[in-house]
Amino acid sequence: MSHRIAFQGELGAYSHQACVDARPEMEPMACRTFEDAIDAVRDGTAELAMLPVENTTYGRVADIHRLLPESGLHIVGEAFVRVHINLLALPGTPLERITHAMSHTVLLGQCRGFLRQHGIHRVTGADTAGSAQHVSEQADPTLGALASELAGDIYGLDLVARHIEDQDNNTTRFLIMSRQEDLSRRGEAMMTSFVFRVRNIPAALYKAMGGFATNGVNMTKLESYMVGGSFQATQFYADIEGHPEDAPVARALEELRYFCSDIMILGTYPADPNRH
């Protein structure tokens, strides 16, 4: 199996940065879509996949929670990456020369203050790294890109202004996926992720959640989403602190199963040190 880690996006994307930070010994592999990154792991082209699931500024990443249970992969780790946004431009370009900045619409919205202060107009690009690549290919010193420092290194752009994001806590959480399930205790603090559907009885969700409260298990995330385009079929995604073999977690999951028609453990993995 190749010692690669797949991600969605171009080289220089924040997902690429996550791969470099979390698995520096592995070769990052750029993929066009999330599905392509998942397929690369399934067919053995890559060993792991780095998938973003949520961002502190703009919430959960669309489609990921739907793809995770269907992927056949297992969560073996998580990574929290600070999204530092930088203004990049052609070598030798001063800040006052730049009149337009290109990036993904989300990043453009996260740098409103800086862009307004310097009179720079926003130009929507397909993604961050792609915008950096576009700027590098244009002989236009008035056009900059908002992207990672890694993208600047890859596409030969100058770092004109560092960390220009409006909020200084912008962070994306990634899940590291593998074909191989690993339920071993690989860290002092462990996380467990799972999806479930409650039985169609009154107060089923309330009762199902009661086991976590009474057993003192901290649930850090609970999200619902529709399945199969039906308003009647709701699936829940949850993250909890602990390992399934911990007595309180085992009791809570046993109680959850009693009220559920379906439950699937997606993975148990070490909590990232940057989680807190």
Output the pLDDT for position 62: 74
Count of structural domains within the chain: 3
Give me the residue label for tokens 């602190």: 241
Query: Domain check: are 121 and 257 in the same one?
Result: no
Output the pLDDT for position 1: 46
Does residue 198 form part of some domain?
yes
> Cα(48)–Cα(12) distance, rounded to whole angstroms?
18
Catalytic (active site) residue 236: no
Does residue 174 form part of some domain?
yes
Does residue 116 form part of some domain?
yes
Per-position pLDDT tens, the chain of length 276? 469 999 999 999 999 999 999 999 999 999 999 999 999 999 999 999 999 999 887 788 877 888 999 999 999 999 999 999 999 999 999 999 999 999 998 899 999 999 999 999 999 998 899 999 999 999 999 999 999 999 999 999 999 999 999 988 889 999 999 999 999 999 999 999 999 998 878 888 899 999 999 999 999 999 988 776 666 667 899 999 999 999 999 999 999 999 998 999 999 999 999 887
Last residue of a domain, one of 178, 208, 230: 178
The structure's pTM equals 0.90
> Cα(219)–Cα(192) distance, rounded to whole angstroms?
10
Give me the residue label for tokens 């599905």: 35
Does residue 183 form part of some domain?
no
Does residue 185 form part of some domain?
no
- Where would I find the H helices in 33-87? 34-42, 64-71
> Cα(174)–Cα(53) distance, rounded to whole angstroms?
6
Measure the N-to-C terminal CA separation of the chain; round to a whole number of Å: 34
Query: Domain check: are 200 and 271 in the same one?
Result: yes
Query: Domain check: are 25 and 67 in the same one?
Result: yes
CA atoms within 13 A on the CB side of 152: 20
Looking only at Cα atoms, what is the longest distance across the chain? 66
Does residue 184 form part of some domain?
no
Query: Domain check: are 44 and 174 in the same one?
Result: yes
Closest C-alpha to 34, from 192, 174, 193: 174
pLDDT digits (tens, 9 = 90+) for 135-171: 999 999 999 999 999 999 999 999 999 999 998 888 9
Query: Domain check: are 57 and 115 in the same one?
Result: no
Output the pLDDT for position 85: 96
Query: Domain check: are 71 and 99 in the same one?
Result: no
The catalytically annotated residue of 93, 128, 172, 192 is 172
Query: Domain check: are 144 and 105 in the same one?
Result: yes
Query: Domain check: are 268 and 194 in the same one?
Result: yes
CATH, residue 109: 3.40.190.10
Query: Domain check: are 150 and 210 in the same one?
Result: no
Catalytic (active site) residue 174: yes
Q: Which residue range is the domain that position 17 belongs to?
A: 4-82+170-178
Does residue 92 form part of some domain?
yes
Query: Domain check: are 53 and 15 in the same one?
Result: yes
Query: Domain check: are 174 and 56 in the same one?
Result: yes
Does residue 61 form part of some domain?
yes
Output the pLDDT for position 230: 65
Q: Would you tell me how many other CB atoms lie within 10 Å of the CB of residue 235? A: 19
CATH, residue 209: 3.30.70.260
The catalytically annotated residue of 80, 174, 194, 196 is 174
> Cα(246)–Cα(38) distance, rounded to whole angstroms?
30
Query: Domain check: are 63 and 195 in the same one?
Result: no
